[in-house]
Structure 1
């Protein structure tokens, strides 16, 4: 019978993105057993009580303060409140009281050939520069097949910065893929959304420089790659 501590470890390692093969090798458990535990984690973790559950309100507050980092929560509990809770017990409490939301499993998979697709996205980040926290836009370009990644930070991200970034990214990748999926951003889109979106003329001209053309909305809803759920593609001529 698998001990509860090992079941908790399996769930935690899977949440970090570790493969079943690596989890099995690390914990010395068969992949069939791991699959059963992951299929029904509630059944895998029987109902029980913990003497640390009296600290749930404090754990909940620290979880928000530490931005969801359970390791930091454990450190803050010990350093600031002199409360020592084993990490596995802490994560079990978080799951039981729904402090940490379970990650949704992906519904399907996409398979890409080399050179078939790359993905461009932007997201706001808080970065520390010279000891000060400032807002910056993180621009990224990822090759779908190899997951090779190029990122740069910008204080702002207009169409000018977009063209500068993509030019540098294409140079870094030493070429372009036949298709580039981008989120439904006003930097690329001049107006409208979804099927009615109008691509900015200057972005069409930019695409022509790289022997590509801007197509209509991508029919593939790539939720994991394009968080907003709507995408446009630069398709090879």
Structure 2
């Protein structure tokens, strides 16, 4: 009988701690007294050694090892082709599994020296890719900039949507401010932002990055190719640690939210934990006084582009359109952007400023500057037909057109008919008829045409009717406008 570990532990507790008899233990655990004695004498008595499994590959393993030593890159398919003529009938899966184990065993092991830096001696810097953030269907790639102070393992993390040189430099400045100074040396891999060209150990650094390093007083050092262990502190304690400890089970509404959560995590977790290698928390081990002081610089490391303003007062940047005042149409302006804002300049003069949007296809500032254009040029919002009517009939035509727009009539057809009336009767007659129609709230080209028709064929005046009773001639009456009747009749005709 084989007894599991849980029952063996219960057996020991009841016998040695509770001082139960073997008979009572047997009744409780449903075990024979002979079995109880056996496990009390030797707890592992019932555990037999596992029987080794035999496979179809066992007889061929020495040959597989020999073939792999000849060519470590030989695939399972190629080796199977060598084994099948010798009688191998097993599957490729078991061969692949054995090759993976064998390659691990045959891989040469390299020894490395653990190098500990003095306080303030070295920063290690690296990028990591973390998928993408979604902005209502617009996806933006997400990157993490990590900087580690090597002595304390203190970590700075910042998420971005780009890896441009300007973004890289801004992240450096933010990290230096977070650390409170600059280390003597910064270590990188062969990033294009850092290394312009390399031939073996001869490195030509990016001139702009080299100028940045000179301004902040640190020496840049590039790792050898395929030598990630040369900056292992940021590889393991930066990118990998962020990926394994910060990233899982989190959601973000945007870039600012991701950076807000990262700041909270570094302050409460990453830099407060007891580090497995140093035995101290990074914050306690950190020595800010050992860093070089930050220079008093007012450098601008925003993304900068020159853009020409289109006729619609817009200039384009990063998939969006930003509006400027109408007086800048056709001119070339300077646009500068960081992760939080987009600012447009004319030389040194600030023209407009917007909050940075990570959506695409959006237009910003249109209502503000189009309103300014309409104030400068009231005719800008009129169509060509409206402009012609206003030119012929004067400002009164605009208010009549606004009333016409509130009706359910086709504006295009009504304006076409009004222009035809102007050609037939002249602008003065149409303007007078328009004033009468507006006074009666009769909006429509047919009302204007009826007024013009009546006025072009005046009726002969009839002599006054002589009443027999003179008192009837003195009755006071309010004359009614015939336009009221005309409007009523035309409305009846237009009804379906």
TM-score range, shorter chain: 0.3 to 0.5
Q: What is the TM-score normalised by the length of structure 2? A: 0.24
Question: Which structure ranks higher in relative contact order (CA pairs < 8 Å, sequence separation ≥ 6)?
Answer: 1
> Which structure has more helix as a fraction of its residues?
2
Q: What is the TM-score normalised by the length of structure 1? A: 0.46
> Which structure has more strand as a fraction of its residues?
1
